[in-house]
């Protein structure tokens, strides 16, 4: 990258920027949250093979890593919860898909449910989004949206499977 590259792309020189932007998926010119959520499906294909305890441990580590990375990016660009930070979408989707049955219809259902709850921001997601700042705030509201989507997803699994 040249020294004249846009500031957002300079984030990719820093490991925190690479993580926070979801390996660059958050730099998509349109709908970075949706692009980031779609990008999160690829690592999820490996995560789903873990035993539940391993999945939950990886999820906790990914959340902590996201708090660190988002804090660094927020401090660097001085924008609170910027759209290019999409690691929170990764973690939110992974929460949604914790106990998803195998098959692409369930993967698609989890994707759609998470996006709906992330965009609609029902309470307390909206409260967390507006009141909790920094890297933790950026990560926490999507974790809550993921929990809502997980609950609906498991209701669908119970009803349909």
Task: Give pLDDT tens digits for 5-43.
Answer: 456 778 889 999 999 999 999 999 999 999 999 999 999
Residues 6+ apart with CB under 8 A from 113: 96, 149, 152, 153
Nearest-angstrom CA–CA distance, 109 and 124: 22
Cα dihedral sign, 48-86-72-130: negative
Task: Give pLDDT tens digits for 136-151.
Answer: 999 999 999 999 999 9
pTM for the model stands at: 0.93
């Amino acid at each position: 990258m040249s020294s004249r590259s846009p500031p957002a792309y300079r984030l990719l020189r820093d490991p925190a920027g690479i993580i926070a932007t979801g390996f660059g998926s958050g730099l998509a010119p349109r709908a970075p949250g949706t692009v980031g959520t779609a990008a999160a499906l690829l690592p999820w294909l490996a995560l789903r093979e873990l035993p539940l305890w391993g999945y939950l441990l990886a999820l906790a580590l990914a959340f902590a890593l996201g708090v660190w990375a988002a804090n660094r990016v927020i401090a660097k660009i001085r924008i609170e919860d910027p759209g290019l930070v999409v690691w929170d979408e990764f973690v939110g989707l992974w929460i949604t898909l914790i106990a998803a049955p195998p098959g692409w219809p369930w993967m698609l259902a989890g994707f759609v449910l998470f996006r709906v709850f992330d965009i609609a921001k029902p309470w307390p997601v909206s409260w967390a989004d507006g009141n909790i700042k920094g890297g933790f705030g950026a990560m926490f509201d999507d974790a809550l949206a993921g929990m809502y989507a997980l609950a609906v997803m498991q209701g669908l699994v119970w009803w349909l499977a």
